[in-house]
Amino acid sequence: MKPFHVTFLGTGTSHGIPVIGCPCPVCHSSDPHDNRFRSSILIEDGAHTLLIDTTPEFRLQALRANLKSLDAVLYTHDHADHFNGIDDLRIFCKDSTLPVYCSEEVASSITSRFGYVLKTYDEAGGIPHLQLNKLKPYEMIRVAGFEVLPIPIRHGCKLILAFRIGSFIYATDSSGIPPESLPYFEGVDTLVLGSLRYSPHPTHFSVGEAVAFATKVGAKRVFLTHLCHDIRHSQLEAELPPHMHVAYDMLQITIGEVYDQ
């Protein structure tokens, strides 16, 4: 597999960090690692660029990452913190339609919440022009040069999508992995896993649960993301085993060189 880069555009939970008006020490930390936009990643192989999720800060994230073009967008789910930046995709589809890949559920959310993005050129200007593609669970699809496998994972009572590309898996907002999805985690080298806080939560893995799952599937390299302000980057990084890390905004990792032979 051709090596590719993953850039963390954001690594925070739905409030972002700092949380508006919060007096806590992490929200007032002087460590830039504790400053987190909502969670999203960019995947680039030098020829193609894929975006996973459009957060409410997508415009700021795109500017910060010097993003100039996009070939496709994938959605994990339709919660506001992963979805509501959809309008800012319009800069990337001025002269063509931009393909979007998502579940049936997310597709109906796009239609009901942002239906104007599916209108044609003739009907309106100054809007995104997106082309919807519905993903089927466990069905590999070729997206802008990447072989992408959508894997259903549990997010509270909802089933959302993790994405596997080669031996890399992005699984944000996870609170459990259904037994039928477990085989698709086999052989994962680099696992990005949502982990909200130290204490349990009904819709997200805690740190302990995330570490236990990553250990169970034998991931060689793990990055925890979608963190809340209960977690101070430097403290958790020091507590984790050497092959596990706390992701932070604008961290870039390479997949397929050392870890994917």
Number of H-type helices and E-type strands within the chain: 5, 14
The DSSP symbol for 12 reads: B
Does residue 79 belong to the site contacting Zn ion (CB under 5 A)?
yes
164 is a contact residue toward Zn ion (CB under 5 A): no
Residue range at the interface with Zn ion (CB under 5 A); choices 80-88, 185-193, 231-239, 252-260: 80-88
Q: Contact at 8 Å (CB) between 217 and 181?
A: no
Q: Smaller CB distance to Zn ion: residue 118 or 161? A: 161
Q: Which stretch binds Zn ion (CB under 5 A): 54-62, 96-104, 163-171, 221-229?
A: 221-229
**Least spacing, CB of residue 185 vs Zn ion, in Å:** 20
The yes or no reply on residue 173 touching Zn ion (CB under 5 A) is: yes
Tokens describing residue 178: 């259904």
Q: Coil, helix or strand for 148?
A: strand
Q: Pick out residues in 19-38 that bind Zn ion (CB under 5 A).
A: 19, 22, 24, 27
How many CB atoms lie under 10 A from the CB of residue 165? 23
Q: Residue 80, interface with Zn ion (CB under 5 A)?
A: no
Q: Which is nearer to Zn ion, 223 or 259 (CB)?
A: 223
Q: Does 159 bind Zn ion (CB under 5 A)?
A: no
d(CA 195, CA 134) in angstroms, rounded, equals: 27
> How many CB atoms are closer than 10 A to CB 22?
13
CB of 1 to Zn ion, least distance (A): 28
Q: Between residues 144 and 171, which has the closer beta carbon with respect to Zn ion?
A: 171
Q: How far apart are alpha carbons 130 and 89 in whole angstroms? A: 9
Return the closest-CA partner of residue 81 out of 194, 181, 197, 191: 194
Tell me, by CB under 5 A, how many residues bind Zn ion. 8
**Contact residues: Zn ion, CB under 5 A:** 19, 22, 24, 27, 79, 81, 173, 229
